[in-house]
């Protein structure tokens, strides 16, 4: 059976994100500590790959518009397949930092370019298909910590061999990513037009100057700011309230499952009913949910709020990517998705940093409320600015 380009892309996304996630969750902090890293060094190493996304997602989108999306996806798949091998030779923390920086290129390139590829394949069903692609990556993101944790748990008596086992599995998934990517078509367009660098840069300037695109990226960055606060500090907040780490894992897993199941549905909803109201409504629901974490300290309420927050993430992110694709022309779609990737990584990275400062001085509850204010501000500015632009 010959798979369609879209199914090939979904399969590539599943293995790519599985490979990327298993390299860091839960192994990365354990491996860094095994090498002698302190808490600050562990945090630094964990932030490096996200920093790569901030810096290189936008250039990756520009190059995809210039030389083709398939070539960029193949390039990222080469990194997915080679980076895991380098972990096997790491003996010092600075070496781990370098490998994480190199590995970060893979997702910095892959995700925005793949989303641009999906947006070219579909027009009327764009939101729904982007949702299905996101679901395929979420399946990989969900399975990876389970696989990594199982390997580490099964080899608990020999940590060194456990780390090797995790990165071998990581390498196998990376190799599968490369093999599947080889079968992707050259372009989603029947007759792609070659661009000169002048045309590419002109398209890039149009994207960067488009207020609607930038504001949409800002809303996604804001909800990822809130999500970064959630995933970093809810475990600490819950454990301090007497909730077991196992139950904390239930919060996180329930949220991933909610995202995976609802994204295609929310994408289809945005296709039929419009994207701007959905983005605003989802952001306001997300702001309410992240604030609610500060008012509860028992398992059942926190579980329901976690699921509701996951639903708000799905509502917003299933519409933002599709809306940015709608706003950009095909010559600049890679640049637009790259801009989204860079700005959302800024939000995801700064969320834990700024909320950590607030939590250290005022407590976890105030950190959640601050994240809520950030999200409300982004949503209100998004709605007001687009209304002014329409008038």
Question: How confident is the model over 113-159, as pLDDT tens digits?
Answer: 998 899 888 877 888 999 999 899 989 988 888 888 888 888 877 88
Q: Name the 3-class secondary structure at 297.
A: coil
Mean pLDDT (the chain, rounded): 86
Q: Quick one: which of 47, 130, 133, 60 has its CA closest to 349?
A: 47
pLDDT, average across residues 43-56? 80
Which tokens is 114 given? 């793949």
Sequence length of the chain is 391
Per-residue CA distances from 155 to 19, 26, 150, 165, 236 (Å): 20, 14, 9, 9, 27
Residue that is written with structure tokens 């209100």 in the block: 380
Q: Quick one: which of 132, 117, 145 has its CA closest to 18?
A: 145
pLDDT, average across residues 327-343? 77
* Domain coordinates in residue numbering, the chain: 1-187, 194-391
Question: How confident is the model over 280-333, as pLDDT tens digits?
Answer: 999 999 999 999 999 988 889 999 999 999 999 999 999 998 898 888 777 677
Which tokens is 188 given? 């989603």
Q: Quick one: which of 339, 295, 382 has its CA closest to 56?
A: 339
Is a pLDDT exceeding 50 seen at residue 102? yes
Which tokens is 291 given? 């604030």
Note whether 355 and 263 are within 8 A (CB): no
Query: What is the distance between the alpha carbons of residues 181 and 247, in angstroms, rounded to a whole number?
Result: 37
98-114 burial, b for 16+ CB within 10 Å, e for fewer?
ebbebbbbbbbbbbbbb
Query: What is the distance between the alpha carbons of residues 39 and 368, in angstroms, rounded to a whole number?
Result: 22
Query: What is the distance between the alpha carbons of residues 348 and 224, in angstroms, rounded to a whole number?
Result: 5
Distance of CA 278 to the CA centre of its chain: 20
CATH architecture observed for domain 1-187: Up-down Bundle (1.20)
Note whether 219 and 316 are within 8 A (CB): yes
| pLDDT interval class at 193 (50, 70, 90) | low
What pLDDT is stored for residue 119 in this prediction? 86
What pLDDT is stored for residue 183 in this prediction? 92
Query: What is the distance between the alpha carbons of residues 317 and 279, in angstroms, rounded to a whole number?
Result: 8
The radius of gyration computed from the CA coordinates of the chain, to the nearest angstrom, equals: 20
Q: Rounded to the nearest 5 degrees, what angle is found at the Cα of 104, between the Cα atoms of 100 and 106?
A: 130
**What does the DSSP assignment read for 145-185?**
HHHHHHHHHHTTT-HHHHHHHHHHHHHHHHHHHHHHHTTS-
What pLDDT is stored for residue 188 in this prediction? 47
Pick the CATH number of 194-391 from 3.40.50.800, 1.10.10.10, 1.25.40.20, 1.20.1250.20: 1.20.1250.20
| Per-state percent for the chain, helix, strand, coil, to nearest 5 | 85, 0, 15
Count of CA atoms in the C-beta half-sphere (13 A) of 164: 8
Per-residue CA distances from 157 to 26, 28, 108, 165, 166 (Å): 17, 18, 35, 13, 15
What pLDDT is stored for residue 361 in this prediction? 86
What pLDDT is stored for residue 315 in this prediction? 95
pTM, two decimals, is 0.81
């Amino acid at each position: 059976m010959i798979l369609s380009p879209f199914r090939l892309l979904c399969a590539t996304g599943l293995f790519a994100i599985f490979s990327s996630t298993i390299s860091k969750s839960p192994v990365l902090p354990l491996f860094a500590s095994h090498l002698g890293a302190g808490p600050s060094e562990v945090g630094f190493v964990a932030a490096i790959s996200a920093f790569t996304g901030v810096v290189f997602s936008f250039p990756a989108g520009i190059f995809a518009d210039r030389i083709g999306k398939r070539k960029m996806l193949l390039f990222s798949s080469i990194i997915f397949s080679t980076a895991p091998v380098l972990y096997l030779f790491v003996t010092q923390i600075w070496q781990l930092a370098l490998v994480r920086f190199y590995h970060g290129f893979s997702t910095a390139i892959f995700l925005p370019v793949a989303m641009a590829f999906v947006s070219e394949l579909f027009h009327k069903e764009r939101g729904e298909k982007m949702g299905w692609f996101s679901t395929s990556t979420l399946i990989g993101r969900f399975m990876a910590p389970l696989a990594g944790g199982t390997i580490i748990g099964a080899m608990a008596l020999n940590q060194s061999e456990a780390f090797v086992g995790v990165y071998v599995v990581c390498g196998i998934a990376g190799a599968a990513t490369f093999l599947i990517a080889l079968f992707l078509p050259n372009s989603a367009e029947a007759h792609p037009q070659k661009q000169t660098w002048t045309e590419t840069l002109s398209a890039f300037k149009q994207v960067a100057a488009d207020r609607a695109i930038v504001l949409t990226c800002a809303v996604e960055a804001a909800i990822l700011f809130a999500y970064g606060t959630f995933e970093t500090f809810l475990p600490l907040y819950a454990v301090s309230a007497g909730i077991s780490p196992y139950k904390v894992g239930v919060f996180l897993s329930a949220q991933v499952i909610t995202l995976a199941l609802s994204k295609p549905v929310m994408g289809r909803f945005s296709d039929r009913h419009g994207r701007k109201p959905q983005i605003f409504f989802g952001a306001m629901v997300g702001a309410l949910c992240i604030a609610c974490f500060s008012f509860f300290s028992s398992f059942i309420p926190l579980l329901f709020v976690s699921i509701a927050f996951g639903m708000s993430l799905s509502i917003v992110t299933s519409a933002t990517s599709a809306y940015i694709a709608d706003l950009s022309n095909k010559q600049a779609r890679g640049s637009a998705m790259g801009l989204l990737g860079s700005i959302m990584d800024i939000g995801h990275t700064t969320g834990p940093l700024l909320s950590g400062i607030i939590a250290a001085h005022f407590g976890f509850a105030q950190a959640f409320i601050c994240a809520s204010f950030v999200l409300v501000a982004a949503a209100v500015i998004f709605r007001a600015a687009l209304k002014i632009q329409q008038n």
